[in-house]
Amino acid sequence: MKLRMKTWLKIVAVVLLVYVHTAGLLMDVPRLNILNETVRALYFHVPMWFGMVLLYLMSLYYAIRYLRNPLHDDDVKSVSYAHVGTAFGILGMVTGMLWANYTWGSPWHGDPKQNGAAIALLVYLAYFVLRGSLDNEEQRARLSAVYNIFAFAAMVPLIFIIPRLTSSVHPGSGGNPGFNAYDLDSRMRLVFYPAVIGWFLIGLWIVSLRVRIKKLEEKILEIE
């Protein structure tokens, strides 16, 4: 099992994010009504949700692996991915509220997408509560893996399906144009895709650090 992330991946992540921050703040963006400069939120807000879903997907993968073959390492990985995914989700929520404050007029607009995302985060917070209230280690790993699969299945309709069914003012749902409609000259893609990759790599890096810390803590406990 590899715990340590490849060094070149870390360098790529840092370089990409330095590029994203400079280009994302300085480069020209299309002029659009209402949105104006806030369209730059695309580089910081959207990658958070991409990162969150990908990290939850990894968490789901390790949860399934744990159920197929109960290895302690898979449980540690699963919970670490869920932790970092939740952190990404909270950051996505905060950046989204910042953006909404300027375009919709208030940080919490009660949009179906906002509500769905908030509930999805609640599902994962419930997952951590479940882990906290089970004492037996093996039982905790197995039951939380089961709930993890359930949580992912509950998250998908909340974030991807329900906002598309209702009248949402969030870009990309409820018949609103997503970012594809904005960047006709593809300038924004040049920053957006590196941002998604960069943030996701940073997420993976944090996960690998968390897993290593957890391992070391366990080793210390064993020695003591």
Identify the residue among 129, 184, 221, 223 touching another protein (CB under 8 A).
129
Task: Report in angstroms how near the CB of residue 152 gets to another protein at its nearest.
Answer: 10
What is the CA angle 109-89-55, rounded to 5?
Answer: 150
Between 49 and 147, CB nearer to another protein: 147
Cα 163 to Cα 148: distance, rounded to the nearest angstrom = 22
Cα 209 to Cα 190: distance, rounded to the nearest angstrom = 29
Identify the residue among 14, 97, 149, 209 touching another protein (CB under 8 A).
149
139 SS3 class: helix
Binding residue count for another protein, defined by CB under 8 A: 30
Using the Cα atoms of residue 187, residue 164, residue 47 and residue 67 in order, give the sign of their dihedral.
negative
Binding of residue 145 to another protein (CB under 8 A):
yes
Structural tokens at position 98 = 């910042």
Mark the segment that binds another protein (CB under 8 A) among 22-30, 75-83, 87-95, 131-139: 131-139
Centre a 10 Å sphere on the Cβ of residue 126 and count the other Cβ atoms it contains. Answer: 13
Give the binding site for another protein (CB under 8 A).
Answer: 67, 119-120, 122-123, 126, 129-130, 133-136, 138-139, 142-143, 145-147, 149-151, 153-154, 157-158, 161-162, 165-166
